[in-house]
Structure 1
Amino acid sequence: MEKFSQFRDRGSGIAPFLPVPSQSSGIYLPFHLFLFCMRLPLLVTAFLTYFCVLQWLPIGSLGKKASLWVILGIPGIWWIDLQIDGVRKGSLAMHHSTRLPGPGSVIASSFTSPIDALYLAAIFDPIFTVSYPFTCKVQQISLVQAILRAFSPPEVKPPADARLVDIATLIKQNPKSPIVVFPECTTTNGKGILQMSPSLVTTSATTKIFPVSLRYSPADITSPVPDSYRTFLWNLLSKPTHCIRVRIAESVQLPVANNGGSGSRPGPTDRQPSYDYNYFDTLDAKLTESLVDLDASLTAGEKTLLSQVGESLARLGRVRRVGLGARDKQEFVKLWSTSRRK
């Protein structure tokens, strides 16, 4: 993997885009084949039944969550190791309203696998969004789009027909649901936290942002490489069980006064038009420069918020933050695809 050394973080040597190797089945290959062949039709049937039929029926939030747990249970995802900052085991009911994401809050989640979106939907029934590294606005997507996006190539700018909105407006439009943001903008193998998208700074000062880390054991059900459907399904369905390690940090909020103490933060609607970078008037070669310009437009409090979320995700996942982002993964995918064809 020396040819991919340029995609290692210079400080830590972490390579967040390389796929996690699977352990050889060895003498258990017949058993793994049996599990795969038995589970695949069940998973496909359950997936299509929910997304083509059940989600459109008036079965309520509880019915939808139960259906999603059936999908999670088919591949053997039955053990959830949940820890919440500041909450002792057995006392969650006493802190439920303050320590867990709820309506009107934001979930800033790590992004390593299509299971991320499925699990978050089964627990919180949220609104899913797509973040981009060069704009503060997000694009609302459905659950199935969030799942499939884990297999998609990284995007550094939104499609021409994308409807972008800031998070504060999205919360007003959906007051009964939490909002899920994947601030890294693309998937990793879970070994590092990428650069944060600025989308989180469009929250209001009263909105709670909960960093949430999801890690898997075995770790080979991550999907850092696009279009890895076959490998993912084999790793997911051929193993007897999988464990999800969920860590939820204490909420963070955007400071009311974040301009070095000299004034209050303007609301999202008070932003100047230049705050959201216009991609379509700019060449791709200038994308890196646009990131610098966007970062310079953020206040000290907004930069602190993004740093707090990144540090919390790294601490929860017991990994480090890396100086790589979606733009770097684009270059990695090009090199990876070329090497695979050869």
Structure 2
Amino acid sequence: MEKFSAYRDPGTGIQPFLRPIPPSGSEWIATAISPIGYAIGAVKTVLLLALALVYLVVVQSVCLVFSPIPPLHRSVTYLFTALLSRIALLLVGLYWIPVEVVQRKRGRTAPAQESWNPRAGDLIVSNWASWVEVLWLAFRFNPIFVLPVCETLEVPSPTKGASSPITRTPGRRTGTGSAAISSPSARTPTTRIPIVGFRRVSLLSMIASTGRLPISEDSTTSKAETIESIRSKADRPVVVFPECTTSNGRALLRFAEVFGDVKLPVMKYKVFVMCVRYDPPTAFSPTLSHSIASNFLNPLGHIFKLASTEFLTGGTYADPLAECCAALMAQIGRIKRVGLGWEDKVSFLKLYRGKSRI
């Protein structure tokens, strides 16, 4: 996809937006068994839509009768959310999801393994590559999901030779060997657009927002809240995706300044850093990442693809907390960071949608 080479990170050579494609080979076998997969996928997709309807009726409607008793309401909604989310993961072929807890210190002086148990008011900070991790988080913690609200989606196009707003470009730039990446059409990093706040959303809304861009301030009637405002009133953990949109899972996008001037170390609550990694696609199993939203009933098309297969596997900074989380996430997930952010995805999608219509 040379036409999208301008959206390849110059420091690492990684294209973080396009869907990963499987290597060539064995396509004829996959094509031969595809009718069976499509039939199974159709049945599973109908069942998944039925689960979504059950969630809408039971969790977001019937369970409201328990609202006068908050502890009971939390327990009942958690029970149904966990059950329905786990069934949904099973239906798309995710029978087992391996989880590895990485200790901050290693060696003889390392403390006993810390429990990964976010509580009310704690933050879960994660990269974002699919709706799968949204379902997994709902299954494990029934957290509060939030979507970023930005000032505008009118991102100015960067010009060659323009000064970069970023003082640090992640990745190697040695000029030799595999790091000698020539990209004459590489774009300079796009100017940052401020994130003015966040909006609480339901589980189904969060899933439907996978692959989309942040909400523009002028397109929403509800007032955006700060993370601290949402967190301080939360009766559950709060999930934050600082990339503000999904990548294809090959690298971490540039984190937006979502936490403001929160000082380190954080004292009033705990911050749990999570990194999601997906296996590359094969001829028999599509990628679990979902970087580009569907135009119709997002992400139903991607759900059908997964349901049709049985072979799935599981310094000084303006925002110091976001930078700290990004560094930890890249370290524990052994994943590279790129200088491209959600602002770059705005212009990428304009090019992608335009090319798709040709």
- 1:42 and 2:55 aligned: no
Alignment correspondent of 2:92: 75
Give the direction of change, closer, same or farther, for the CA distance of 1:158–1:139 in structure 2 (3 Å limit): farther
The letter for the 2-side match of 1:305 is L
- 1:221 and 2:288 aligned: yes
Give the direction of change, closer, same or farther, for the CA distance of 1:69–1:120 in structure 2 (3 Å limit): same
For 1:12 and 1:94, the matched residues in 2 are separated by 33
Alignment correspondent of 2:270: 208
For 1:51 and 1:163, the matched residues in 2 are separated by 24
3-state DSSP of counterpart to 1:223: coil
Contact 2:123 2:270 in 1 (8 A): yes
Give the direction of change, closer, same or farther, for the CA distance of 1:60–1:330 in structure 2 (3 Å limit): closer
For 2:40 and 2:280, the matched residues in 1 are separated by 16
- 1:235 and 2:305 aligned: yes
Structure 2 unaligned regions, length at least 5: 64-75, 107-111, 151-192, 282-286
- 1:316 and 2:332 aligned: yes
Bigger drift between 323-332 and 310-319 goes to: 310-319
Contact 2:45 2:304 in 1 (8 A): no
Q: Which has the higher strand share?
A: 1
Alignment correspondent of 2:68: none
- 1:3 and 2:3 aligned: yes
Alignment correspondent of 1:117: 134
Q: How many residues align?
A: 281
The letter for the 1-side match of 2:342 is A
3-state DSSP of counterpart to 1:324: coil
For 2:9 and 2:209, the matched residues in 1 are separated by 24
Match runs of 1:77-96 below 5 Å: 77-86=94-103, 95-96=114-115
Alignment correspondent of 2:198: 138
After superposition, give the CA deviation of every residue in 1:264-294 in whole Å (9 maximum; x if it has no partner).
xxxxxxxxxxxxxxxxxxxxxxxxxxxxxxx
- Cα drift, residue 171 of structure 1: 1.7
For 1:55 and 1:72, the matched residues in 2 are separated by 20
3-state DSSP of counterpart to 2:99: strand
For 1:151 and 1:320, the matched residues in 2 are separated by 20
For 1:101 and 1:158, the matched residues in 2 are separated by 33
Structure 2 counterpart of 1:57, from 62, 82, 97: 62
- Cα drift, residue 138 of structure 1: 1.8
- Cα drift, residue 304 of structure 1: 3.5
Structure 1 unaligned regions, length at least 5: 245-259, 261-299
Contact 2:194 2:257 in 1 (8 A): yes
Structure 2 counterpart of 1:102, from 113, 119, 128: 119
Structure 2 counterpart of 1:180, from 239, 242, 246: 239
- Cα drift, residue 114 of structure 1: 1.4
- Cα drift, residue 154 of structure 1: 4.9
Contact 2:20 2:280 in 1 (8 A): no
Alignment correspondent of 2:189: none
For 1:184 and 1:178, the matched residues in 2 are separated by 19
Percent identity between the two aligned chains:
28
Contact 1:76 1:242 in 2 (8 A): yes
- Cα drift, residue 160 of structure 1: 4.3
Contact 2:213 2:342 in 1 (8 A): no
TM-score by length of 1: 0.74
**Greater relative contact order (Cα < 8 A, sep 6+):** 2
Instruction: Compute the RMSD of aligned alpha carbons.
Output: 2.6
After superposition, give the CA deviation of every residue in 1:200-238 in whole Å (9 maximum; x if it has no partner).
236573222222112234551221112164641232111
Alignment correspondent of 2:226: 166
Bigger drift between 226-235 and 162-171 goes to: 226-235
Contact 2:51 2:88 in 1 (8 A): yes
